[in-house]
Amino acid sequence: MDYKGEKCQVCGEIFTDDDDIVVCPECGTPHHRSCYITENRCANEEYHSTGRKWERTVHKKPLYKVCPVCNFPNRVTDSNCQRCGAEINDISVVSMNENEPEKVEDNIQAAFSSEQEAFLDPIKYLGLDPNEDMGGASMQEVTDFVGPSTIYYLPKFKRMKDDGTKPSFNFFSLIFPTLYFANRKMWGWAILAAVLGVLLNLPADLLLYIEEFPDSLATFISNNKSMIQAVSDICLVADIGVRALFCLFANWLYFRFAMNSLKKHKTSGRSASSIKAEGGIKPMNMLIITAIKYGIGLIVLAALYYGFEMATTIKDFSTLCLM
């Protein structure tokens, strides 16, 4: 048997073609003859009582197929390259670290560490190059920043970067734009969406909650109900238009937000591990923005009421002065 590349269990040196090797008759462990004579026993003597046999470590199992087109390391079972789609049925399988056999065991474990497993896993990057520059940050950094829903966002981000495409459909931002932006930590857009939502729904709310307002304001609304209803209809159309814009451009806004955040993150010199903490989602933000939106609504109603009272007072005062 060829023991080239294996370790002597006594001295730890790698066997070469020129070494004089002896093998333990009990467990099959190879030794340098000089090492075996020096120890006068098998280095794996504990194997003898259990019947365990020595096992090879070099070229134990092929781990991946390297695509000849793009050099992507595909899984052994893949028939096509996960990155470029080229056929790899006839490609020879490459064993991990076959040129460094002394590190095989360590590297087999490292091959399935979080970073290398993600690289070999076509699901995480969808066959895209994790080192591709997305405009100031790599695909891997963008993936770490986005967190959940990378399968949804990565193809859209790549198309936006490659083709300059901006519009794309985002259903959640159509129905709940304020919650979407807050959940993705885009507070500027979340506040803007909340303010627009309150203002555009104000006329409808005035008609809906007319009985809850003070008598003077309720009377004014009742007397001008047809006008307020017309304004409400206009605001409804405007609200639909605003939601449509958020629906079409929310993904692009998020792409720009992610890239700007990553650039600031890299400029500040913070560790790469903090990217995930800075990005991703935070459902608690949806509760916070709901409370903020409710507060904005109360402020607008209070401003409307006191403005109405002030206008009424000024009108009454002007009437008295003219009498």
DSSP output for 47-62: HHHHT------TT-SE
Q: What is the pLDDT of residue 256?
A: 94
Q: What is the pLDDT of residue 109?
A: 42
Determine the Cα–Cα distance for residues 28 and 25; give it in Å rounded to an integer: 6
Joined tokens for residue 281:
């989602």
Q: What is the pLDDT of residue 99?
A: 41
Q: In the beta sheet, which residues pair with residue 73?
A: 66
- Radius of gyration of the chain, Cα coordinates, nearest whole angstrom: 34
Positive or negative CA dihedral for 318, 319, 320, 323? positive
Q: What angle do CA 155, 157, 163 make, to 5 degrees?
A: 95
From residue 253, give the alpha-carbon distance in Å to each of 170, 190, 249: 11, 12, 6
Burial 220-246 (b: 16+ CB within 10 A, else e): bbeeeeeebeebbeebeeebeebbeeb
Residue numbers of the chain with a pLDDT score lower than 70: 1, 58-63, 70-71, 83-84, 90-127, 271-273, 315-323
Residues 95 and 63: beta-carbon distance below 8 Å: yes
